Amino acid sequence: MGRGRAGSSSLNPLGRPPRAAIKGRVYRTRDEARADVFDYIERFYNAVRRHSTIGYLSPVEFKKNVGLA
């Protein structure tokens, strides 16, 4: 019995709908997982990641240095 493509409406071998897990959280749909990943990137990762175009500072550090935050 095949599993089908990820995110398809087919059932897994146990007869349950397919699920995705990120850091222990189980998502019922791909859209739920995608929204959570997007939120992580926008709120945390991009805020602390160092950018070469602004002197290898994070955006938060850069704004503090220029007096914007």
Beta-bridge mates of residue 22: 25
pLDDT at 57: 92
Q: Is 53 within a domain?
A: yes
pLDDT at 56: 93
Q: What is the dihedral of CA 8, 23, 39, 32, to 10 degrees?
A: 30
Total structural domains in the chain?
Answer: 1
Q: Is 58 within a domain?
A: yes
Cα–Cα distance between 50 and 20 in angstroms, integer?
Answer: 29
pLDDT at 5: 55
Q: Is 43 within a domain?
A: yes
Per run of 10 residues, the mean pLDDT along the chain (length 69 residues) is 51 53 79 89 84 90 85
The DSSP result for 1-54, as a single string, is: ----STT-SS--TTSS---EEETTEEESSHHHHHHHHHHHIIIIIHHHS-BGGG
pLDDT at 1: 45
Boundaries of domain holding 61: 30-66
